[in-house]
Structure 1
Amino acid sequence: MRDDTRIDWHRKVDEALITLLNTLDDPPDFRRIAESVAASPYHFHKQFKDLTGETFKACADRLRLEKAMTMLREKKRITDIAFDCGYSTVEMLSKAVRRTWGLSPTQLRRQSSWHPYIPSRVGVHYSRKNERKTWFYAKGGKEAMETKIVQFEEKIFYGYKIVGDYWQLPKQWNRFLTTVQDKNIHQLGKEFISVFLDNADSIPQDQKRAYAGFVTTETLETQFDLEELLIPSGLYAVTVHFGSSEAIGPVWHSWMTEWLPHSGWEPDFSRPNYEWYQNNLENPELLVTFLVTAVKRREE
């Protein structure tokens, strides 16, 4: 595609997104949007998906749900949220929330920490102000997940455990961070990570163990009430996730189902997986997490 043609399509998709963000309660059909930017429905559908990574309908559904979740964080009534965001019933909203987060709107609201954003390849998200008028688009095609195979040495970990639903982890993170700050040992943490011990599909979710805590080179006293784990040395596959921790689940799934089967590697379930958090910023688009999974060479 010529540069001037590509720039023209960037402009058209910008216009479509601005229109969409302003009409989320009743988004227009993509054919009307195509007509408004002087494009055929076929070419608009193709270029929109190539540039944003999702169809126009998928983008509209995601942004509408982000608007609903923003209102949920603002403590609005769930019935009012469904009506204001264009859901025909509360049940339709609940199904959309459960499909994305695995929780009902009421359960999600009770969580101590979560973001209303759902992953977007180009960072298109709902905002109350909707001040943004242009976005950076990829050249098209499927976004690859770059992966490195890294040899890690043995690590000593201290943290708090949960068993079952991983949505318990935010509460344990709050407990852990309060403990290390109160005990003045926060500075001893070299890596702040969530550890997942039971990764085989054969283990039921309600039996899976996970931890919130940090890696340190110091030996901590028992009075700190933290459980100690040894994370074995070995080869680990590592990829990078940009975005909130609530959005990591689908990224793990895509990585394990799309990259791993064709990589020449297989999971080593004798060692844990973990999420290694690199920063703590207000803007969730700039949060960086290393996803780390234990691997071994696939046996032919």
Structure 2
Amino acid sequence: MRAQLSAPPIRRLVGYARVSTEEQATDAQVDELKAAGCHLVHQEHGSGASRSRPVLAKLMSEIAAGDVLVVVRLDRLARSVSHLLEVIERLEERGAHFRSLRDPIDTSTPQGMFSLQVLGAVAQLERVLIAERTKAGMKAAMARGKLPGNPGLRERRPEAIRVVAAARDRLYLDEIIISAQLWLPTVRRMRPQHSWDDVVRVLNSKGHNWTIERLRRAVHRLVREHIAEPALIKRSPRRAPEDRLMTLVAGIAIADPELTLREIAGQLERMHERTPRGGRQWQASSVKALLDRARRLGLVAPDPALGS
């Protein structure tokens, strides 16, 4: 008998369409994407000069391994070559691919990957040339007796200060939107049932570097931009000091339900948390006792999938 060949996995084509202003319509892009096989098309209105794209940020956080993000043209997705490479790198981390219908870019094919490498070289050359032009301009200005930098800021002109402040604010918003997929899911699972301190400790145990104030500021900003839910910034319920370990263990389990009891114990040790008896080494049984108590209080799902 001949061995039956398994059918290749079906890749899901996910479309993304963007126009610059609210007055423009994405209909033409949507039609072209659907004709290419995209049954799901995400539509966004936003300037091409800004990375503040909540629809794209949400899409990037939900795209699954094997999916293909499809756009009509590269300029519909990215504001620069470096931004494009950054988006594609994040897709590759999730096991997804990228395709542009009108450009020779398809990261699921060898030809498309070659084109991407060429773009990477162009981006590197672009950065070098910009740096060289900046240095040459500053050198020429100083040779003419001019100070480098913004003269309006040196003179403390209000309009110049406002422009710079607005630019910094846009940059800050761009940065937290781009990074949100790495930390916002944990915040959503833990807030407002758990304190900001517990959320920060759980995030930092995973390699982040948050402070309570910086995290609260970031989440408040996402709420103001209607990217995060207002419930996240509600006041957390007060708990007695002796309940802190229980809520912390519950928070770790909620943030990553796949962790075993031993893995939670290891995480607590890396966070330098003392056991209920004051010891430094955590046992799975101690973690289980705290989780059982949290479960009875409704802080953790009734049947957590935790092993020893």
Do Structure 1 and Structure 2 share a fold, with TM-score over 0.5?
A: no
Tell me the TM-score normalized by structure 1: 0.24
More strand by share: 1
| Bigger RCO of structures 1 and 2 (CA < 8 A, at least 6 apart) | 1
Larger Rg: 2
More helix by share: 2
